[in-house]
Amino acid sequence: MITLSSINKSFDGNRVLRDIHLTIEEGTVTALIGPSGSGKSTLLRCINLLEIPQSGELTIGIEQIKFAPNARIKGHDIRRISRQTGMVFQNFALFPHMTALDNITEGLVTVHKWDRAHARKRGEALLEKVGMLHKRNALPNTLSGGQQQRVAIARALAPSPAVLLCDEPTSALDPELSGEVVAVLRQLAQEGTTMIMATHDLRLAANIASQVVFLEAGEIVEAGSAKSLFTDAKKPRTAEFIASLSTALPDIGAI
């Protein structure tokens, strides 16, 4: 289980996250939706400590960390929490000079101190899982955007993190290529991978998420199941936001 309690984050006095309370059950998918600037990506970055909250508490499984104003978080505490997470970025963030396989194995060898042969076996298994084993020796610039993102997902999964964090995983892709990535994410969801994704793609949220969280101005306005939010939102602002993007939604009755 992942819990966030009273998480607050500011940049130069601008409060980006306001008193966030959220619980994510193991084996579920949580979609963070909301307008640009609502705090979705910042919330993800606070979970893996790419950004350090000013206050609050974060628990991932048995690992817990507390934040307080002007308190310095030690490096080993950051590593302790960040190793529980795998991050998939909007822009893929692959090493351009490394093959698809090396992009996956490098972190296992240098950070997690795996034996290289063991890391290679793990990398090949994950490339097969995302349908990219045939491209294991390809450089990123020879791959399509969808293929690069699938390699990035495999890399994030390599050390078997407790939670997979996806920051707008399909927004840099055209509809055809995004379909490749959605198929992989759907497969992972069906296998019980715990995921938290920030997305503007309501189709992705409606089809994959167990829980949808609507944020605006750094606050959670409403949270619930995909079906409840997309068909019977309780807060007027949630309903207004969803209605503004309703043409992007699939048949909700199929959720």
Helix or strand or coil: residue 17? strand
> Do 30 and 23 touch, CB atoms closer than 8 A?
no
State percent of the chain over pLDDT 70.
96
- The more confident residue out of 242 and 5 is 5
Q: What is the pLDDT of residues 139-180, one digit of tens each?
A: 999 999 999 999 999 999 999 999 999 999 988 788 778 888
* Distance (Å, whole) CA 17 – CA 155: 28
Provide the pLDDT for residue 248.
53
Burial classification of residue 218, based on how many CB atoms lie within 10 Å of its CB (0-12 exposed, 13-18 middle, 19 or more buried): buried
Helix or strand or coil: residue 48? coil
pLDDT of 254 above 70? no
> Which token pair is 164?
């997979």
Burial classification of residue 224, based on how many CB atoms lie within 10 Å of its CB (0-12 exposed, 13-18 middle, 19 or more buried): middle
Q: Average pLDDT, stretch 181-186?
A: 92
Nearest-CA neighbor of 151 among 172, 171, 134, 175?
134
Q: What is the pLDDT of residues 200-223, one digit of tens each?
A: 888 889 889 999 999 999 999 999
249 confidence band (pLDDT: 50, 70, 90): low
Q: Mean pLDDT of all residues in the chain?
A: 92
Nearest-CA neighbor of 42 among 250, 224, 215, 192?
215
pLDDT of 255 above 60? no
